[in-house]
């Protein structure tokens, strides 16, 4: 798992995986506590806001660990197509714009399975 | 950095020369330059009351200030410290101006040579002894020897600024601080900052004019590990700011008389931490933000200041007793921040004999609409000439400080790149989208903007600001008019370690 995460961070240029105290910068990659299975590479850009243990610190960001996979998949596609708007949709539209259908399916399945 | 020839500018302003700020007690006139100097003093005349910083007042349309930056020996709560500050004072003198005034600053960089004179990398903090001055919130020219943040004033050099305020300049609370990319966080985190007040508008509201006025400059100087700060490391951590000072004092005493209303001009001159502030037991009304009046006095329990923000407050005292100006514990994005007491507030008897005779005693809060500044007229849909979106992000890039680059639209700052090019007179709506788990207070130079949305919801009151926190995993939308001043200036994060590590863009307004 640790090796996978290191590769992911290097491949995406994003290592914002954990909410380490005192950080202004992307913290060092670490294994998300409490999350199991093979994490999809694209998930690295989700955890900084949605929480490394499935419980976000940010109070206006939803808990997605354990959410219904079909709901997650539909939500991701709606953000990418621009049909889901309002609230913090602008942030999600930016995050998902480069994801493929397969990426979205993998993310929905993995987060839903936590 | 882009080339403004310092030598050419110096030639053009050589006639201004250098003067001297008058020391001593009370009021004085500075030489033939007719600038009035006022020493730091309690507005109530009480010996242990929080003093307002020293002030320089314009006379007959002109304010001449002699400012220098040096490495100054100061004593912080944590012990002796060597800080890069203006005129050996924490904070620097308050500048009091009127719309239409000319501000002349004879500036001198008295810091020693930089140890890293060669081989610097853009967006890696560097050359902490090179500097300049930014006039934060001023609607003035960004060119030449005005509010030009591309200048690099090296150790041992002098520079004369001439900043011409337009006649219709919005009145309110502004400030000045260094802004040289690479050293801005180190110098502001040292405490190099002062307030600037442009008169008019709110000052003329009878209830506010009757009130005692307090200046509160909030700073948290961070010293170096062994002496002067020579590395970004001590200020890089968001939690590094240990001891917030008010006008250079740690946890000062503030006096207010029973039934009294005081006008507090509060400046957040820190470099990184947010300051949500409470004063439970007192009534607090916000009347202005970033120098611009609100529509009416707003009773509030929490004043939320991001680095760079100013708030004009009316504080009304009730029962006798001890209160506190408190920053409660809160989360700055995903980072938990601790509670601390900024100041002790004592409500004293209305006729307390310690108060000097003849001091104003305001008691009322204005109930109607507050006066607006003429040029801050709501920007309607049909006025918009363009839309832009900016995505705030962070990247892990080897070789940079902590392997980190902060980005806007996936790019870190490039002094040679124009990120926005538009025409003078353009009116634009900008959307800022924050993909990071930390809020970023974005500041634009030269022109104020009107906040219209936060996270897709209408912004209450649509306030005019110059610095707005973009929420973590959130967005804001604002509208701005590019008026009066062509030239190149910047938009950046006012968490200044983020600015020095890349979160800044260039805006080029063409005539």
**Pair (B183, B268) in one structural domain:** no
pLDDT of residue A36: 64
Helix, strand, coil: what percent of chain B each, to 5?
10, 45, 50
Q: Are residues B194 and B227 in the same domain?
A: no
pLDDT class of B114 with cuts at 50, 70, 90? very high
**Predicted confidence band of residue B175 (pLDDT cuts 50, 70, 90):** very high
pLDDT by residue (tens digit) across B58-111?
A: 999 999 999 999 999 999 998 999 999 999 999 999 999 999 999 999 999 999
Mean pLDDT of the region B452-464: 95
* Tally of domains in chain B: 3
Show the domain range for A63.
2-112
Instruction: State whether B301 and B439 are in the same domain.
Output: no
User: Higher model confidence: residue A10 or residue B212?
Assistant: B212
Chain A residues with a Cβ under 8 Å from any Cβ in chain B: 9, 13-16, 19, 21-26, 45, 48-49, 57-61, 85-91, 94-95
Q: Return the minimum-mean-pLDDT range out of B224-233, B275-284, B424-433, B473-482.
A: B224-233
Percent of the residues in chain B that have a pLDDT greater than 90, as a whole number: 86
Given a cut of 60, whether residue B282 has pLDDT beyond it is: yes
- Whether residues B193 and B218 share a domain: the answer is no
Average pLDDT, stretch B6-35?
39
- Please count the residue pairs, one from chain A and one from chain B, whose beta carbons lie less than 8 angstroms apart: 93
Residues of A in contact with B494 (CB under 8 A): none
Q: Do B457 and A14 touch (CB under 8 A)?
A: no
Distance from CA of A67 to the nearest CA of B (A): 19
Distance from CA of B437 to the nearest CA of A (A): 5
* pLDDT on residue B240: 81
- Mean pLDDT per 10-residue segment, chain A (114 residues): 32 34 48 67 91 86 95 97 92 95 95 91
Same domain, B170 and B234: no
The total number of structural domains in chain A stands at 1
Burial B354-366 (b: 16+ CB within 10 A, else e): ebeeeeebbeebb
pTM of the model: 0.90
So what's the pLDDT on residue B35? 83
Q: What is the CATH number of the domain that holds A11?
A: 1.10.760.10
- Answer for the pair A17, A52: CB distance below 8 angstroms, yes or no: yes
If you average pLDDT over residues B137-163, what whole number do you get? Answer: 98
Would you place residue B227 in the very low, low, confident or very high pLDDT band (cuts 50, 70, 90)? confident
B3 vs B5: CA distance, rounded Å: 6
Instruction: Clarify whether residues B47 and B158 are in a common domain.
Output: yes
pLDDT at residue B270 greater than cutoff 70? yes
Nearest to B404 among A26, A45, A86 (CB): A26
Helix runs in B194-308, H state only = 206-209, 233-236
Q: What is the mean pLDDT of residues B167-192?
A: 96
CA-nearest residue of chain A to B240?
A22
Mean pLDDT of the B152-169 span: 97
Per-residue confidence (pLDDT) for residue B456, from 0 to 100: 94
Pick the last residue of a domain from B303, B325, B348: B348
Nearest to B238 among A23, A49, A87 (CB): A23
Last residue of a domain, which of B139, B171, B199?
B199
Does B397 map to a domain?
Answer: yes
Structural domain boundaries enclosing B444 = 381-510
Question: Are A49 and B472 within 8 A, CB to CB?
Answer: yes
- What is the structure's pLDDT at A1? 32
Q: What is the CATH number of the domain that holds B420?
A: 2.60.40.420
Among B5-9, B36-40, B60-64, B165-169, where is mean pLDDT lowest? B5-9
The pLDDT of residue B221 is 94
Measured between alpha carbons, how far is B242 from A106 in angstroms, rounded to an integer? 44
CA distance B309 to chain A (A): 20
The answer to whether residue B363 sits within a structural domain is: no
Give residue-wise pLDDT tens across range B411-440: 999 999 999 999 999 999 999 999 999 999
Contact B434 A87 (CB under 8 A): no
Q: What is the pLDDT of residue A23?
A: 53
B325 and B418 in a single domain? The answer is no
Q: Do residues B410 and B494 share a domain? A: yes
Task: Please give, rounded to a whole number of angstroms, the shortest distance from the CA of A101 to a CA of chain B.
Answer: 21
Among B399, B437, B452, B494, which would you mutate to test the A interface (most chain A Cβ atoms within 10 Å of its Cβ)? B437
DSSP string, B125-179: ---TT-B--EEET--S--STTSS-TT--B-TT-EEEEEEE--TTPPPEEEEEE--
């Amino acid at each position: 798992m640790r090796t996978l995460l290191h590769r992911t961070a290097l491949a995406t240029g994003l290592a914002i995986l954990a909410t380490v105290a005192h950080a202004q910068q992307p913290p060092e990659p670490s294994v998300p506590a409490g999350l199991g299975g093979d994490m999809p590479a694209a998930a690295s850009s989700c955890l900084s806001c949605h929480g490394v243990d499935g419980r976000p610190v940010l109070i206006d960001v939803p808990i997605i660990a354990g959410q219904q996979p079909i709901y997650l998949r539909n939500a991701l596609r709606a953000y990418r197509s621009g049909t889901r708007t309002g609230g913090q949709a602008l942030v999600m539209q930016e995050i998902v714009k480069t994801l493929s259908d397969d990426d979205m399916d993998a993310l929905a399945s993995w987060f839903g399975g936590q | 950095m882009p080339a403004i020839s310092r030598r050419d500018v110096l030639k053009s302003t050589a006639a201004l020369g250098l003067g001297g700020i008058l020391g001593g007690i009370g009021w004085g006139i500075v030489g033939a330059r007719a600038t009035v100097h006022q020493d730091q003093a309690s507005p109530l005349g009480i010996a242990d009351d929080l003093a307002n910083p020293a002030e320089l007042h314009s006379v007959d349309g002109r304010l001449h200030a002699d400012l220098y930056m040096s490495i100054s020996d100061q004593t912080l709560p944590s012990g002796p410290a060597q800080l890069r500050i203006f005129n050996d004072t924490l904070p620097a003198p308050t500048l009091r101006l009127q719309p239409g005034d000319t501000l002349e600053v004879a500036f001198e960089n008295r810091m020693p040579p930089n140890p890293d004179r060669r081989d610097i990398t853009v967006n890696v903090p560097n050359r902490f002894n090179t500097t300049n001055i930014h006039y934060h919130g001023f609607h003035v020219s960004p060119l030449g020897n005005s509010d030009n943040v591309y200048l690099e004033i090296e150790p041992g050099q002098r520079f004369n600024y001439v900043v011409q305020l337009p006649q219709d300049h919005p009145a309110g609370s502004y400030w000045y601080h260094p802004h040289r990319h690479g050293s801005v966080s180190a110098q502001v985190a040292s405490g190099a900052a002062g307030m600037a007040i442009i008169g008019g508008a709110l000052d003329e509201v009878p209830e506010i004019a009757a009130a005692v006025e307090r200046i509160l400059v909030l700073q948290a100087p961070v010293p170096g590990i062994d002496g002067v700060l020579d590395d970004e490391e001590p200020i890089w951590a968001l939690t590094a700011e240990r001891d917030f000072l008010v006008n250079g004092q740690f946890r000062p005493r503030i006096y207010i008389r029973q039934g009294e209303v005081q006008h507090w001009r509060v400046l957040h001159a820190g470099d990184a931490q947010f300051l949500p502030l409470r004063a439970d037991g007192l009534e607090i009304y916000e009347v202005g933000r970033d120098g611009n009046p609100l529509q009416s006095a707003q009773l509030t329990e929490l004043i939320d200041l991001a680095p760079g923000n100013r708030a004009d407050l009316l504080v009304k005292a009730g029962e006798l007793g001890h209160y506190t100006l408190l920053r409660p514990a809160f989360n700055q994005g995903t980072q938990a921040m601790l509670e601390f007491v900024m100041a002790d507030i004592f409500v004293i008897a209305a006729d307390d004999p310690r108060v000097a005779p003849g001091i104003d005693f305001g008691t009322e809060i204005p109930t109607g609409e507050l006066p607006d500044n003429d040029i801050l007229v709501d920007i309607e849909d049909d006025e918009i000439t363009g839309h832009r979106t900016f995505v705030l992000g962070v990247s892990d890039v080897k070789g940079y400080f902590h392997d980190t680059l902060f980005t806007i639209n996936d790019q870190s700052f490039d002094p040679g790149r124009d990120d926005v090019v538009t025409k003078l007179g353009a009116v634009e709506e900008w959307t800022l989208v924050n993909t990071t788990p930390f809020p970023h207070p974005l500041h634009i130079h030269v022109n104020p903007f009107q906040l219209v949305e936060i996270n897709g919801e209408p912004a209450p009151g649509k306030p005019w600001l110059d610095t707005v926190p973009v929420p973590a995993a959130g967005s804001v939308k604002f509208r701005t008019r590019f008026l009066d001043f062509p030239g190149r200036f910047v938009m950046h994060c006012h968490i200044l370690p983020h600015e020095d590590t890349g979160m800044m863009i260039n805006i080029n307004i063409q005539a």
